[in-house]
Structure 1
Amino acid sequence: MKNFKGNLFSILLLMMTSIVFSQGKIRGTVVDNELKGSLPGVNVVVKGSSTGASTDIDGKFIVTTTQTTGQVVVSFIGYKSMTVNFSVKNGETVDLGTITLTADSNELDEVVVRSSVIDVAKDRKTPVAVSTIRASEIQQKLGNLEFPEILANTPSVYATKSGGGFGDSRINIRGFAQENIAVMINGVPVNDMENSRVFWSNWAGLSDVTSAMQVQRGLGSSKLAISSVGGTINIITRTADMKEGGQISVGLANDDYLKTQASYSTGKMKNGLSASVLFSQTRGEGYVDGTGFEAGNYFVALGYEINKKHDVQLTFTGAPQFHDQRSNAPTINQYLKYGTGGEPNIKYNSDWGYLNGEEYSFRTNYYHKPVASLNWDWKINETTKLSTVLYGSWGRGGGTNGTGALRGNRFFSDNLRKPDGTINVDLIQAWNSGQQVTVIPGTGAQVPGSYTRAQIGGLYQNSSSSSNNATNGITQISSINSHNWYGGVMNLNKKLSQELTLDFGIDARTYRGIHFQNVNDLLGADGYADNTDVNNPGRFVNFEYAAEPNGNPFYNTDYQQKINYNNDGVVSWYGAFTQLEYSRKNLTAYIQGAISQQGFKREDYFKYLTTDPLYSTDFENILGGNVKGGVNYNINKNHNVFANAGYYSKQPFFNAVYINNASVVNENLTNEKILGFEAGYGFRSSKFNANLNFYRTSWKDRFLRITANIDEDLNNATPTIPGSAFLSGIEQVHTGFELDFTYKPMRILTINGMASMGNWKYGSDVTANYQDENSQVITNPSGEVFTETLYLDGLKVGDAAQTTASIGASLEVVRNVKIDGNYRYIDNLYASISPENFRTEAANKAGSLELPSYGLMDAGFSYKMMVGKDNTNSVNFRLNINNVLDKTYIAESRTNQFAATQAEFDGNTGNGLINPSGSQTSSSNFLKGNGPTQYATYQDYQNRGVYDGVDTRNQVFFGFGRTWNFTLSYNF
């Protein structure tokens, strides 16, 4: 035994000696590719082991390893990782020299942004507040969410599903709605040229082909004169020369959601050609009742690198879709009425019913908007580059609605509903076709009666009239909003010296918006009588057009029978821009200037005789532009500060040039004025990154069109009808701060967080006039356009949360298995302005209606299994659960109704309460003493007339409850 112990000791000593002498050392220096300075705190790990080290203050590292050959992985947050081969002999030291890391704050995986048309912000260089979402994160976490929702954990961003229909989501940045957020795809502006809106249902397939999405809050770094009041969303799509490979995936989710997708890229071939294609199909029943949908998506990209100087990329993409909607926001009373156990039915939708046993929606959106673009990049020489993009977009489609009335009841009237809250479409069809029905008239005696429809000239003729008569009926119609859009952007990038770079470019666009209505479904009637075309009065329309997207986006719509209105909006745009950038070591500064002339022309084929000059107007040309600049200073390797400022003179939207659905130019036409300031601080280290920003944006002379409940008779009576209010002379001031951070205490754990707080207020009272849902102007009894003052001065800007915060973490439990979670908190959320609630100074004192704060938790699970030869392919599993705790919350309110206070309730005489808006509240909502609803105490009223502190008369959209989605994909 003694000899055995001695031999064992000798063997162990020999092994230890061998290990010591077999150790080698690897050293090197890590620097930044742009600043050429050393990077401290960089992780250097021997691949396949836990052996590693971090760089010191001079960017130097030494790693001791027992391996004689292998690879080291060099990684640092905000930079692209590098893998470096090494070979070291026993007991020796090998010097890898200088390892240069490339900044990767944009995280544009598999994307090379060649074109200088695309304005991508660079970390510690471009002086703007920016967040970037990688393609991998979009593919993992989006699932059946809407595209804008992937930005929900970005500072100062508020994204909601709005009515909940497929693609009906919306986004606000720093309190500004998406029509004042510039959306760019590969450097091409896609905001509608008439109203600057972006309908995400038209871009439903965009998430499938996005390589990266960057959000620049504030005026941003784009050189174009675009509507980036709140921010800019830069979307960079797949390119033709992505690396060779493909993907097949299938996605499942709640409410029969099914998505299938296939894509393949050839990579760049020896002859310089490349191609990338993607096709997908999505369908589902929708989380909200009566919101079924079906959508396709196609993407084709062809590339050709002619030589080292010329590269051409052609892309063509589109997403034909139709989806039933929840356009009218129900009242909380309605959600409660059709709920159970005193809880609201948050899925309730007041816009649909059943016809002959099948779902029938009065509100369906259908559209096909393909976009083609040709990008040409020419490297003239080592200091000069020319980037050009030519593009075209052809949109065809619209949205359905109901018009007319059944004995004075509109299609959304409670008198036409079944006990479950759905529309009794069978009843409407029976009335339209001449059958006897029992119904409560919309006006007059509120008691049921039996009625039979009368004919006109031996026919059952529908019309747009809502009066209580025996001849009219209800029709499903479409509002068509098609367009033809062509444009081009050219940018010359010239490096004047080692420090100075000059950009100069032009931007030209032309747009024709095609607007009219047609008949989708007569619902049993013989035809539709229309008298709105002064050139062809007394027309009778009996052709029905399907509410579905057309596969041919170039088809001509002129042959269609049109009703109610028929006009085109023509917009021309000519612009020029320039930028001078200075960059040296730790200092970067730029100044930009842009000028544009927009021309607005209106052609109205119904309202004016062909001989009238207003039948086709001349162009109303308006000059606008901007100037902005900024500076970034890198104090050292860890700290940087930046500031920027800018001024915009922004042309108004088309409906501000030609107001009141007429071809007369607004006599008070003026440009909107935006003045913005921003300052920020950044911190970078190997484990922790953080950004802190402060901003102030002032916006004057704004013109706005918003949803409103219109009282056509101007007598403050109910019911009202849905319509639009046009507000002019708006002033807003938005200030706030933003914080976001990433902390990676170890390789397997990443923690992300953000917080933002804003103070967004109106700075003036405004003037309003109104149009009904058929774009007919509301006039007073003398025939003049009805206008009134709305008292908004000092009110909080609504429709977006002014305080947001989130905290999330991702943990790699074992290799290729990750779990992640996130909690998001929303506060200081105010209702959007409803004009009918701010007609008195007393209403202004009451302020904006604040909605309850809420918090949402999301969670996910991922597993990646490597397969195939050399494990180069992968099978990926992803499960997302959104709103894990099934929180019920109000995401937005379209009205500002306030609940009565105790004093108001006590002082009620039974004739209705006076609410803070200064108008008398409906006695059917809460009464003390007499009337159809009697509440003995204020507490009793609160229990029945208030939900979570909000008056139940308010028209709101609840957010979705718990949802889930699962994706299985094969990457090869």
Structure 2
Amino acid sequence: MKTFNTLFFVVAMFLSTSVALAQGTITGTVVDAESGPLPGASVVVKGTQNGTSTNFDGKFSLDVKSASGSIQVSFIGYDTKTVSFKVDGGTVNLGTITLVSNNSLDEVVIVGSGIIDLAEDRKTPVAVSTIKKREIQERAVGNVELPEIIKYTPSVFISRQTGFGDGRLLVRGFDDTNTAVLLNGQPINAQEDGRVFWSNWAGMADIANAVQVQRGLGASKLAISSVGGTVNIVMKAAEKKQGGSVRFLTGNDSYFKGTAEYNTGVNEKGWAFSVLLDHWQAHRRWGDGTFGQGQNYFFSVGYTPNERHAFNFLITGAPQFHGQKWSQSDNTTLNDPKFNQHWGYTSNLQGNNYTSEIDSERRNFYHKPVMNINWDWTISDKSELSTVLYASWGRGGGTGPRGDRTRDLNGQLDYFAIEQSNAAIGNGGFDNAESGYIRRASMNNHAWYGIVSNFNHDVNENFSFNVGTDLRYYVGDHFRQVANLYGLSSWQEDGVTYTEEYSPDPWAALFNFADEGDRLDYDYSETITYQGLFAQGEYATDRFSAFFQGAISNQSYQREGRFQGDLGKSDKLSKIGYNLKGGFAYEFAEDNQVYVNAGFYSRQPFLDNVFTNIRRSNALVEPEVDNEEITGIEAGYKFEIDGVFRAVFNFYHTDWDNRVLLSGGTLVNTDGSETNINVFERGVRQVHRGVELELDSRPTDWLELRGFVSAGSWQFKGSSNVQVFNDDTNTLISSQTGINRDGVKITTAPQFTAGLTARANVMEGLSVDVNAKHFGNHYRNDRDFDGTPQTRNFPKIDSFELVDFGLTYNFTIAGQRLTFRGNIFNLFDKRGIQDTDQFGSFPITGRTFNTSLRYNF
């Protein structure tokens, strides 16, 4: 009996103590605003070790020992959130707890972490801005192309030209030919001239996990053309989590887009599959004749056989076509900014009662499947090897006029009249007195293969190094073919009769294009090979870090002409290039850090700069074009209060010497005739210097504020030499030396910008955001048509401001998760000139909008 009483007393004491310790239970669901539940999120009572993790559905249940207090909810890649609670012996549901993603990219890099040169991978900082998946899927959707999501970052200018995918990206005044763009570590700048055609990558907004802009020297180890900076697009791999989504989007001018994706998640054998498909179309983007249509496909397979190896295969492509609009005179741009002289209706039934489809003589069409295989090998706790093998095959081009066109009273193409006139002619061409009119297509087909591999080793807790290789092989074919005869039975040119038509459609162009005997005007190929080696070492302690980086590369060029005399293959030219970068950072007080970086590039010229006339001649430029030389110095200061406030100040100075500039135009001769010309300017030097200030603040749980100011002074230095060639005969027309351009302002982008972004969580599931940006000190580009370089400053473009507005609402219906998003771009419908080139000006795109509804499952 005594033993029983003792046991009863102990049990009673245990139960009473447990009741005293466990005052109640709190439950809830942890979610991401865009992707839904967050399984594995940590939930801990503040100031204790009492905690738990969320289940697959993001739900948690936690016994608490006090009647009131607060919990801290955290998940990698998200800011920690503190939530208060009160209980009284029962169960209290805290509802849905939404976490906000921060700027870390650790959680989005599934494979290829050793290849993708993100700023997070190096402790010595660079000037960087990161846009996460949530913002990409909110703002870069539908009728807004991918580069526009980074326009609210310092020293970045997006010239939003009116065609789908025709915009230009500039960083610190350097265009995309001098800003490296990497897709999962794979370079995508065109091998011939460094350009990035964003229409070829229209699907990236749907499959990008993040976009990181590294301004200036950046963190990339490759010997790439990152004069202005580096843009890293982190593309999704096969997802670890099962689920999918369906989204429907509409916008101005009958824009429509439908997207569906599904992820199997990782099964018990380590396999995962992801697929995405979408279709979009619109009768215009904003300007007249800027119709478009396209698709996007993505398929990825991931395999993780064990903890040391991870593989991922993917293939993606975004076939599309769209009507284009070039620059106009200032009067046209200001009075009728939507005007476009390149389009018309395909037939005229009764007077002006048009009922047929819109078409354009300036149509861009392209299909560029991209495939890559990633392999990540964790060799040991200190060593890892990452490799990506990639390939892309581009097919397509752009159309243009050949012959004499007919226009209606509104200045648009009159296709009905053109077909009537062609039918009367029968056989047209440049060789006939009555030429007629056709649409030709300038084709740019290519095959590109490459491999990037990087070995990383942590020598000890303070020092690490990596070495790697970058190999590329590229063959491009360039020629013209007949796209549409418009009623002619044939077209004659240079003694050849053409009767075949090749549809300017991205799917058809993948396999159906003209054979060599059916090509007109020009036909040539180039082969570019590239071999690069790179290495980096970094030493870091709690307060100090320093790095040194170097790369060397060999690039060879060879051209083969197959037209106008069958030129055969040119001599092969090889050029050695290299770069050296180094820097250090020091945290002199808690959350106060300074850094200094410096670098030098000896960069090989683009292929287009090596030959006197890339389309028509195998002749190399004499004397031989030397490497461009770029010297960069940058410094910065960063102050941060975790989760509350961040301020970053950057200074940069970039000296770019021995640059080659190519341009073209039309020379009016003394007899009134016109000659098409190529202008070749050598020895150009320009200096870009400036300052940038970024401010981020989260004064409350429901409000985010971001602001920036960037001010630059970009101008030419010294003098340059100019040669002007006849484009048709490749003969030298004129040559000028010692043209003084010292102090002339660079005209590529606004040299002063300032922006403010505000995001407010109005209520559970509902948030609004406003983005405003000011553009100033943008100088006009008024190069003369005779090829004379700009030797004086022309007037500035009037400064202007643009404001965008967005709204997101996450809600459930019958337990199903849905997301509504609405965007208004250029909210106040600002009008004017935003940019210029040597032929005219581009209008500010007026007010546009889109709305979407996404169902997540």
- TM-score, normalised via structure 1 length: 0.76
> Distance between the aligned counterparts of 2:155 and 2:653, measured in 1?
13
2:832 corresponds to which residue?
889
Q: Is the aligned partner of 1:433 residue 2:379? A: no
> Distance between the aligned counterparts of 2:154 and 2:832, measured in 1?
21
- Name the SS for the 1:893 alignment partner: strand
Task: Summarize the Cα distance change of 1:111–1:67 in structure 2 as closer, same or farther, 3 Å threshold.
Answer: farther
- 1:670 maps to a residue whose letter is D
Q: Is the aligned partner of 1:672 residue 2:628? A: yes
Please, which of 428, 436, 447 is the counterpart of residue 461 of structure 1?
428
How big is the shift at 1:22? 9.9
1:419 corresponds to which residue?
409
Instruction: Write 1 or 2 for the structure with the bigger share of strand.
Output: 2
Q: Is the aligned partner of 1:736 residue 2:690? A: yes
Does the 8 Å contact 1:633/1:642 carry over to 2?
A: yes
Task: Summarize the Cα distance change of 1:418–1:121 in structure 2 as closer, same or farther, 3 Å threshold.
Answer: same
Task: Summarize the Cα distance change of 1:386–1:760 in structure 2 as closer, same or farther, 3 Å threshold.
Answer: same
Q: Is the aligned partner of 1:848 residue 2:805? A: no
Q: Is the aligned partner of 1:817 residue 2:773? A: no
Q: Is the aligned partner of 1:653 residue 2:569? A: no
Give matches, 1:272-283, under 5 Å.
Answer: 272-283=270-281
Q: Is the aligned partner of 1:806 residue 2:780? A: no
Give matches, 1:691-770, under 5 Å.
Answer: 691-706=648-663, 708-711=664-667, 713-715=668-670, 725-770=679-724
- Name the SS for the 1:660 alignment partner: coil
Give matches, 1:825-836, under 5 Å.
Answer: 825-832=774-781, 834-836=783-785
How big is the shift at 1:335? 4.2
> Distance between the aligned counterparts of 2:331 and 2:203, measured in 1?
36
1:121 corresponds to which residue?
119
- Name the SS for the 1:965 alignment partner: strand
Does the 8 Å contact 1:108/1:212 carry over to 2?
A: no
1:797 corresponds to which residue?
746
> Distance between the aligned counterparts of 2:122 and 2:466, measured in 1?
20
Task: Summarize the Cα distance change of 1:417–1:506 in structure 2 as closer, same or farther, 3 Å threshold.
Answer: same
- 2:502 maps to a residue whose letter is Y
1:957 corresponds to which residue?
842
> Distance between the aligned counterparts of 1:102 and 1:967, measured in 2?
21
Task: Summarize the Cα distance change of 1:109–1:289 in structure 2 as closer, same or farther, 3 Å threshold.
Answer: farther
- 1:430 maps to a residue whose letter is Q
Q: Is the aligned partner of 1:474 residue 2:442? A: no
1:441 corresponds to which residue?
none
Consecutive unaligned residues of structure 2, counting only runs of 5 or more, are: 1-19, 27-41, 47-63, 90-98, 349-355
Does the 8 Å contact 1:210/1:235 carry over to 2?
A: yes
Task: Summarize the Cα distance change of 1:812–1:85 in structure 2 as closer, same or farther, 3 Å threshold.
Answer: closer
Task: Summarize the Cα distance change of 1:266–1:551 in structure 2 as closer, same or farther, 3 Å threshold.
Answer: farther
Size of the alignment, in residue pairs?
784
2:173 corresponds to which residue?
175
> Distance between the aligned counterparts of 2:82 and 2:212, measured in 1?
27
Please, which of 249, 253, 260 is the counterpart of residue 262 of structure 1?
260
- Name the SS for the 1:836 alignment partner: coil
Task: Summarize the Cα distance change of 1:705–1:833 in structure 2 as closer, same or farther, 3 Å threshold.
Answer: farther
- 1:348 maps to a residue whose letter is F
Task: Summarize the Cα distance change of 1:460–1:764 in structure 2 as closer, same or farther, 3 Å threshold.
Answer: farther
The more displaced of 182-191 and 74-83 is 74-83
> Distance between the aligned counterparts of 2:676 and 2:276, measured in 1?
40
How big is the shift at 1:587? 1.6
2:283 corresponds to which residue?
285
Does the 8 Å contact 1:117/1:490 carry over to 2?
A: yes
How big is the shift at 1:268? 1.6
> Distance between the aligned counterparts of 1:272 and 1:76, measured in 2?
23
Q: Write the deviation string for residues 253-297 of structure 1: whole angstroms up to 9, x where unpaired.
A: 000000100111122211100111111111101211111110100
Does the 8 Å contact 1:355/1:426 carry over to 2?
A: yes
Does the 8 Å contact 1:802/1:828 carry over to 2?
A: yes
Q: Write the deviation string for residues 203-256 of structure 1: whole angstroms up to 9, x where unpaired.
A: 000110000010000121111101101010001111113322111001110000
Does the 8 Å contact 2:76/2:107 carry over to 1?
A: no
> Distance between the aligned counterparts of 1:688 and 1:113, measured in 2?
32
- Name the SS for the 2:120 alignment partner: coil
How big is the shift at 1:959? 1.5
Does the 8 Å contact 1:791/1:839 carry over to 2?
A: no
1:578 corresponds to which residue?
535
How big is the shift at 1:74? 5.0
Does the 8 Å contact 1:159/1:170 carry over to 2?
A: yes
- 1:651 maps to a residue whose letter is Q
Q: Write the deviation string for residues 723-766 of structure 1: whole angstroms up to 9, x where unpaired.
A: 65333221110000111111111000111111101111011333
Does the 8 Å contact 1:650/1:672 carry over to 2?
A: yes
Q: Is the aligned partner of 1:858 residue 2:804? A: yes
Please, which of 546, 556, 571 is the counterpart of residue 618 of structure 1?
571
Please, which of 467, 477, 480 is the counterpart of residue 517 of structure 1?
480
Please, which of 451, 456, 474 is the counterpart of residue 488 of structure 1?
451
How big is the shift at 1:862? 1.1
Q: Is the aligned partner of 1:877 residue 2:830? A: no
Q: Is the aligned partner of 1:561 residue 2:545? A: no
How big is the shift at 1:127? 2.1
How big is the shift at 1:68? 5.2
1:604 corresponds to which residue?
561
> Distance between the aligned counterparts of 2:733 and 2:316, measured in 1?
44
Q: Please, what is the CA RMSD of the aligned residues? A: 3.2
- Name the SS for the 1:848 alignment partner: coil
Q: Write the deviation string for residues 324-376 of structure 1: whole angstroms up to 9, x where unpaired.
A: 111x312123346xxxxxxx111111111233133231100111001000000
Q: Is the aligned partner of 1:239 residue 2:221? A: no
Please, which of 195, 198, 205 is the counterpart of residue 197 of structure 1?
195
Q: Write the deviation string for residues 13-40 of structure 1: whole angstroms up to 9, x where unpaired.
A: xxxxxxx99999x9xxxxxxxxxxxxxx
Does the 8 Å contact 1:103/1:123 carry over to 2?
A: no
> Distance between the aligned counterparts of 1:398 and 1:727, measured in 2?
27
Task: Summarize the Cα distance change of 1:317–1:693 in structure 2 as closer, same or farther, 3 Å threshold.
Answer: same
Does the 8 Å contact 1:370/1:553 carry over to 2?
A: no
- Name the SS for the 1:844 alignment partner: coil
Task: Summarize the Cα distance change of 1:545–1:769 in structure 2 as closer, same or farther, 3 Å threshold.
Answer: farther
Does the 8 Å contact 1:462/1:525 carry over to 2?
A: no
Does the 8 Å contact 2:333/2:833 carry over to 1?
A: no
Consecutive unaligned residues of structure 1, counting only runs of 5 or more, are: 1-19, 27-42, 48-64, 91-100, 337-343, 406-410, 435-452, 454-458, 532-537, 896-953
Give matches, 1:403-414, under 5 Å.
Answer: 403-405=402-404, 411=405
Q: Write the deviation string for residues 568-606 of structure 1: whole angstroms up to 9, x where unpaired.
A: 011000111111111111222111110000010000011
The more displaced of 661-670 and 286-295 is 661-670
Please, which of 225, 228, 248 is the counterpart of residue 227 of structure 1?
225
- 1:362 maps to a residue whose letter is E
- Name the SS for the 1:801 alignment partner: coil
How big is the shift at 1:618? 3.3
How big is the shift at 1:702? 1.0
Does the 8 Å contact 2:333/2:843 carry over to 1?
A: no
Does the 8 Å contact 1:205/1:318 carry over to 2?
A: yes
- Name the SS for the 2:413 alignment partner: coil
How big is the shift at 1:855? 0.4
> Distance between the aligned counterparts of 1:556 and 1:384, measured in 2?
48
Q: Write the deviation string for residues 891-926 of structure 1: whole angstroms up to 9, x where unpaired.
A: 11124xxxxxxxxxxxxxxxxxxxxxxxxxxxxxxx
Structure of greater Rg: 1
Does the 8 Å contact 2:112/2:374 carry over to 1?
A: no
Q: Is the aligned partner of 1:631 residue 2:584? A: yes
> Distance between the aligned counterparts of 1:526 and 1:799, measured in 2?
45
Task: Summarize the Cα distance change of 1:126–1:248 in structure 2 as closer, same or farther, 3 Å threshold.
Answer: farther
Does the 8 Å contact 1:106/1:214 carry over to 2?
A: no
Q: Write the deviation string for residues 538-571 of structure 1: whole angstroms up to 9, x where unpaired.
A: 2211111111112684667546610010000110
How big is the shift at 1:311? 0.7
